[in-house]
Structure 1
Amino acid sequence: MDKYTYILDDNQKNERIDKVLSSLNGEWSRTQVQQWIKEGHVTVNGSAVKTNYKGSPGDEITVTIPDLVELDVLPEEMNLEIYYEDADVLVVNKPSGMVVHPAPGHTTGTLVNGLMAHCTDLSGINGVMRPGIVHRIDKDTSGLLMVAKNDMAHENLVQQLVDKTVTRKYQAIVHGVIPHDYGTIDAPIGRDKKDRQSMTVTEENSKHAVTHFRVIERFNSFTHVECQLETGRTHQIRVHMKYIGFPLAGDPKYGLRKTLDINGQALHAGLLGFVHPRTKEYMEFEAPLPKEFLEVLDYVSKSN
């Protein structure tokens, strides 16, 4: 366990502590410093502070870096569908049915297991259970994910998500016939008080959430839509489409009681675009609809 101590001078007054520490030590990313602050590894004059604490000249800042925790998640050889890879980033097409990252009691068969076998240089910012993971999609959602191979790339890609400059378009099949061609759902999402495992549209303890959609094709009882995320809340598309009365087909959590008998919701993250953290070039990738989605599309089209 390493310990570092800094005394602030006039040049650092009124600066956020996370920004100050990341500039004082060039090897620490701001995201990593924020994590240490939240975990209580950073003190100012002997007391814990929040990430938005602004320093004063003479403040004594102590950073106690915790020992690295050995990752007890083992690499597993998988036939991953890699769309792009270089020294900084990787884009992978996740199949439906695969969990993105391990959780206690579930440490095998995840995308992270496969990534660890594919490459050893993954960003550690998100912790030992989520190396390289910048964002995620649900187990039964297929599609494209960007993965960071170092902390610089991770911090840059996260900032792009915060700045809402990442392009994320999904295709979905929903119950009901949506009458208008385009729409925007601007409704905050938070935990459901009645079911803590579910999310819902609520004003209490919620976060701003915006989803744009357009109709691709209408059927007798279903609609094929494209949804574009402006924000990235947990289960956002599933919750928002349910909120406006058009829940996703096959959705076991937010769908209708009598929904299609398929393996999870008909949702595919088909298009992903972002600016490369190092080259600053805009890159865009598109994954075709998987076989399972096409089968559902064929079924609902025949319902006309």
Structure 2
Amino acid sequence: MNKHMTYYTAEEATELLKFMINQLAPKSRNNIKSMLARGQFFIDGKAVTQFNHPLKKGQKVGVLSNEGAKKTAALEGVKILHEDDDLIVIDKEAGILSVAGRDHAEDTAYRQVTKYVQEGNRRNRIFVVHRLDRDTSGVMIYAKTEEVKEKLQENWHTIVKERIYTALVEGVVRKPQGKIESWLTESKTMKVYSNDYDNGGKHAITHFKKKQNSANYSLLDVELETGRKNQIRVHMEEIGHPVAGDKKYGARTNPLKRLGLHATTIAFTHPSTGKVVRFTSQAPKSFLKLSR
């Protein structure tokens, strides 16, 4: 459990702000509204900032102390979206490695989150469930125990119900939606190639929907039916619309000075509760601006 979190149980159906004003008296209404705006109130492990969020009878509200809020704010390029005894879900900025690469001195999301969970107990650890490329931003999961990590990884294809990315791609995508299916193989130079027949590679399926486009770029919702290495990047190149900034896979422009790829949504069956949980991160405004 997070030592900086205090829990309060609603004895009747009510609204969040009203409930917290009663629970945290004599704190002022403005003080509590500031805590709400800073994301210090958690329901079912998720930070809630909506003052009139409905509470059910028996529902618990976790309140992150000011000290805990400062420690969370101290994270650079990483935001905690959810935390419980099994998992910690983050929103990673572009430019940060998920785990250590060749330069072991470089700060990573893994290192920062490890430091965060060890504030309460030096023996606490986190375990990598999946990764995002350095230049891909968005939602990512770490497990808090090796058992949970293995449970998630071994059943990844059945546990994960939804995995959606926002992609800024070059050119005007004509189709409003589509499906890309191929077999992916990786070369000795670490580049992934796509084949439209089964050549022994890994079967990959990607679905896309166009959200909007400008004269030079299109914004797509991309859903993975399979999760292969560089799958979206390879498939976007295959349809003639490489991800912006992705020189490795055919892009000619780099308007964002990063990869135009953001992990927007992941939904999966929670390993302990058995309930489907869903976590989202809004696409960067720069993606929207370039595709208008």
TM-score, structure 2 as length reference? 0.67
- Match in the other structure for 1:100: 98
2:193 corresponds to which residue?
A: 200
Q: CA deviation at 1:262?
A: 2.6
1:267 alignment partner, one of 250, 261, 265: 261
Residue 160 of structure 1 contacts residue 166 of structure 1 at CA under 8 Å; is this kept in 2?
Answer: no
Counterpart position of 1:110: 108
Q: How does 1:239-258 map to 2 (within 5 A)?
A: 239-256=234-251, 258=252
Q: What's 2:273 paired with?
A: 279
Correspondence for 2:117: 119
Q: What is the one-letter code of the residue matched to 2:208?
A: F
User: What SS does structure 2 have at the residue aligned with 1:163?
Assistant: helix
Q: Which runs of 5+ in 1 are unaligned?
A: 1-76, 123-130
Retained in 1: the 8 A contact 2:160–2:266?
no
Contact preservation (8 Å) 1:175, 1:249:
yes
Matched-pair contact (CA < 8 Å) for 1:214–1:225: yes
After superposition, the CA RMSD in angstroms is: 1.9
Aligned pair partner of 1:81 in 79, 82, 88: 79
**Aligned-pair CA distance for 1:188:** 1.2
Aligned to 1:225: 220
The Cα offsets for residues 52-107 of structure 1, whole Å up to 9 and x where unpaired, read as xxxxxxxxxxxxxxxxxxxxxxxxx7343101001101100010110000123334
Alignment of 1:21-170 (within 5 A): 78-79=75-76, 80-120=78-118, 121-122=124-125, 131-163=126-158, 165-170=160-165
Following the alignment from structure 1 to structure 2, what is the Cα–Cα distance between the partners of residues 99 and 280?
A: 30
Aligned to 2:209: 214
Say if 2:136 and 2:261, in contact at 8 Å, map to a contact too: yes
* Percent of paired sites with the same residue: 32
For residues 109 and 215 of structure 1, the distance between their equivalents in structure 2, rounded to whole angstroms, comes to 35
CA contact (8 A) 1:82 1:90 kept: yes
C-alpha contact 1:189 1:199 (8 A) present in aligned 2: yes
Q: Which segment drifts farther, 259-268 or 166-175? A: 259-268
SS of equivalent to 1:209: strand
Q: Aligned residue for 2:32?
A: none
Q: Is the 8 A contact 1:164 1:231 kept in 2?
A: no
Scaled by the length of structure 1, what TM-score is found?
0.65
Q: Is the 8 A contact 2:217 2:290 kept in 1?
A: no
